[in-house]
Structure 1
Amino acid sequence: MTSPSSQRTRVSPWRLLVVLALVGGLGWTGTRTVAAIVAPTPDPGDSRFAAYVDVTATPAFAFETPSGPAQSTVALSFVVADPQSPCTPTWGGYYGLQDAADVLELDRRIAQLRATGGDVWVSFGGQLGTELSAACSDPDALRTAYRDVIDRYDLSRVDLDIEGTALEDEAGAARRAAAFKDLQDEAADAGRSLDVWLTLPVGPDGLTDRGVTTVETFLAAGVDVGGVNGMTMNFGVVTSPHEPLADVVVSAAEALRDQVADAFADAGRRMSTSDSWARVGVTPMIGQSDVQSERFTLADAAAVNAFAKDRGLGLVSMWSLNRDATCTAPLPSVLTVVQTGCSGVDQRGESFAETLAADLDLQPVTPDPAGTARSTPTPTATAASPADVVDDPETSPYPIWDPYGTYPAGTKIVWHKQVYQARFWTSGVVPGTPVANEWDSPWTLIGPVLPGDRPAPLPTLPAGTYPDWDADGVYVAGDRVLLDGVPYEAKWWSQGQEPGTPVPGGSPWVLVIPAG
């Protein structure tokens, strides 16, 4: 009999291969595990801040003269279908693109913002009105409508705010995605880029099923989706200092990131954690929300800002810059009803935009000595000084400022190739004069004279309001006349000098701007 210690074990070659494979696999897995523990977590990317501006809200928000970097990049909202012409883009259903240029001075104001170093995006859709793809069933006309907006405002980034009935419209979603796939291809062929972001409703658990489907539809169409921005608002919760809204915003953002990562992975585009956070945005409704029990405070804004920096969110926004102020009389400072021009909370001189944007990736602006935004970029050594700028009546959209003129509130004039509007009645104050406080100036800068500008129609008054001008008459300072219905006032003694006709040394007549 042989003792156990002296027995030999026969090892099967197959067993040996299995053992080696297991050891090798364990070694690879162990190495991966150790590497994951030892390797530093990638730094989060830079977060971008850009707040929404409601273009058609009253009173208008002067986005063209940003008070600082937090207001330098704005998402102008909302472009929707014309109620009478479904494939025609409008601002809020009220203004066609040219109407917005004429009535709202939108083109000029965008040019002014860009002159300071800022920029704009445009948001299509929104809660009110009908999104273009839901109204326009012709794919070619739809693509043209989107392109008209992109080309007119020279956009490199757009936002698609899809909510309400538009979120349920599968056919419209397919048309929308196909249009933006084509538009991105066109931009690439022209050597440009077109960044497309989707803004969708979220709850504490992230997107709804329809929201997820919207993202999947865009990815399936081949659209390079820049990111998904969650409307982190109107959750229907009760907030308090002990149960802040920021906690719900963070919960929604965490869930949204998982959904975005899964959607991209399902489309064959797996991303790292930091890359997926860079495709996530959050947009709270500052101050009092549409839900009476829900309020987003400045403390919430600070918490969301810290969260965004920690995770590297691709976008932090807010609704809206129009509302970033404490309500003033006759309204109380604290309200439970949403206002379009104030937040409904006492901000005590602080700004939601600046709090949310603190230490994020911001576009710098160039301030002027008075502390407001400049009307032009910093001049170069070869740039003409303002004194050398000569305004041409033939290319000025409004009358050129005259030191003897009288200008009621709302009057627009041109001075040194810039358009200004009178805040209140004024005479003799040079537009653009530096002041300690911008509200001390009677003039508001609207923006530059644009290529293609032509004189606006002159104001007229009914016959008999003033005597008709007489070439043989003698006129002294203060006399008023009508010429073809246009009112003028004499600046000094004259005879035979026709009103409205330029003469060397200056015309003896100044245009009268009727009040109202």
Structure 2
Amino acid sequence: MKPLRRLTIALTAGVAAMALAPVAEAAPNPVLASPYLYQWGNKPDPVNVMNATGVKTFTLAFVLSDGGCNPAWDGSRSLTGSDATLIRTIRAAGGDVIPSFGGWSGRKLGQYCSSASALAGAYQKVINAYQLKAIDIDIEAAEFENATTQDRVLGALKIVKQNNPGVRTVITMPTDRSGPNSWGKRLITRAKELGAPIDVWSVMPFNFGGPSDLVAATKSSVDGLKNHVKATFGLTDDAAYRRSGLSSMNGVTDTGETVTTAQFRSMRDWAASKHLARFTFWATNRDRGNCGGSTSDCSGTNQGTWDFTRVVAGYTG
């Protein structure tokens, strides 16, 4: 065989091998499209959900205080127990997680840790335990409406970012229809003053106190968030949207509002048009329909199983 022909065959074989070789998928972004998942009731098999919907990441709720400045799942479960197994299971299936600290009820680390450095140490234990790429601070209730605690959380996140520059930080907080309330605005303003580099600000646009158009309310609340982020950090509209996000609630909310799957798709399309950094909902455990109005085990609406999760899975920013 002539050398040129051998070279041609070798090149052709190499191209064919490259074509047959699997293309490595990009690592999933745990911030972008991660529906909340919790362990205390009606927990679905995350791998079944991933296979059925295409979703790759989950926000795991909640890391709380064990009674002191030490993190524990729901304030009682060890970092090395069933939640660690859950994380390994999700990752083995090609997914990832973002743990959420806080929530509405329970003992919050921001209250039980005495200083920003101590709180940063508690966050760091969770980051180290799971080699995390991101954390979500769901700051609500007494932890939210307290200036000292707000500053402690921000100071801790500043330390976390200094020690883990590759770990993305998300703050999730309540909102009014027009955007963050006075406590939310203070939190954003203080982040600038304290030099706490929060990557994503996310609001929860629901539970406004009664039935309302939650599509319109979601847009107006996120716009209000964007406007305050823009003004505080001197950003363009586009840049401010890209540091903003939302976490809705699927189906019937705690105060009787309703988000249907069609409305949730409208929210997703709008979020995509603004390139929001985070689009999610509470919670995958409730992503089932036809349950006679209950909202703890399902959405309380007429929907197919995992319909809301499918909407999230289609969000690419």
TM-score range, shorter chain: 0.7 to 0.9
The structural deviation recorded for 1:357 is 3.8
For residue 179 of structure 1, report the CA deviation from its aligned partner: 1.6
User: How far apart are 1:70 and its partner, in Å?
Assistant: 4.5
Q: Is 2:72 the partner of 1:96?
A: no
- For 1:81 and 1:187, the matched residues in 2 are separated by 22
CA contact (8 A) 2:286 2:295 kept: no
Q: Is the 8 A contact 2:172 2:201 kept in 1?
A: yes
Which of 235, 252, 271 in structure 1 is aligned with 2:221?
252
Q: Which residue of 2 aligns with 1:160?
A: 137
Q: Is residue 249–residue 259 contact of structure 2 (8 Å, CA) maintained in 1?
A: yes
Match of 1:80 in 2: 64
User: What percent identity do the matched residue pairs reach?
Assistant: 27
The alignment's C-alpha RMSD in Å is 1.9
Name which of 338, 343, 365 aligns with 2:295: 338
Q: Give the alignment partner of residue 280 of structure 1, picking from 218, 238, 244.
A: 244
Where in structure 2 are there 5+ consecutive unaligned residues? 1-30
CA deviation map 1:432-479 (0-9, x unaligned): xxxxxxxxxxxxxxxxxxxxxxxxxxxxxxxxxxxxxxxxxxxxxxxx
Distance in structure 1 (CA, Å) of the matches to 2:281 and 2:85: 24
Cross-structure match for 2:200: 227
User: Aligned residue for 1:404?
Assistant: none
1:311 corresponding residue in structure 2: 274
Asked whether the 8 Å contact 2:214–2:259 carries over to 1, the reply is yes
1:116-154 CA deviation, whole Å, 9 max, x = no partner? 221101111100112212111144432221110111011
Residue 174 of structure 2 corresponds to 201
Q: Which runs of 4+ in 1 moved over 4 A?
A: none
Q: Which runs of 5+ in 1 are unaligned?
A: 1-46, 265-269, 328-332, 362-516
Distance 1:210 1:349, change over 3 A: closer
Matches within 5 A, 1:103-114: 104=82, 106-114=83-91
For 1:243-292, what per-residue CA distance to the aligned partner results, in whole angstroms no more than 9, with x for missing partners?
x321111111111111111122xxxxx22221111111111110011012
TM-score, scaled to structure 1: 0.53
Aligned-pair distance for 1:334? 3.9
Q: Which moved more, 1:210-219 or 1:151-160?
A: 210-219
Equivalent position of 1:355 in the other structure:
311
Cα distance in 2 for partners of 1:257, 1:357 equals 24
1:200 and 1:231 in contact (8 A); partners too: yes
SS of residue matched to 1:71: coil
In structure 1, distance between residues paired with 2:260 and 2:109: 34
CA distance in 1, matches of 2:53, 2:154: 33
> After the TM superposition, which of the residue ranges 119-128 and 352-361 deviates more from structure 2?
352-361
- 1:209-248: per-residue Cα shift (whole Å, max 9, x none)? 1111112222322222111111111012324xxxx32111
- Counterpart code for 2:46: F
- Residue-by-residue CA offset, 1:88-126 (whole Å, 9 max, x unaligned): 11111221323xx1xx2x222212211222110111110
- Larger relative contact order (Cα-Cα within 8 Å, sequence gap ≥ 6): 2
Instruction: Determine helix, strand or coil for the equivalent of 2:281.
Output: coil
Q: Deviations over 1:313-336 (max 9, x none)?
A: 111000001111114xxxxx341x
AA at the equivalent of 1:315? R
Instruction: Assess if the C-alpha contact under 8 Å between 2:288 and 2:304 holds in 1.
Output: no
Asked whether the 8 Å contact 2:207–2:253 carries over to 1, the reply is yes
Secondary structure in 2 matching 1:196? strand
Aligned residue in 1 for 2:102? 125
* AA matched with 1:307: W
CA drift at 1:64: 4.4
Q: Aligned residue pairs: how many? A: 286
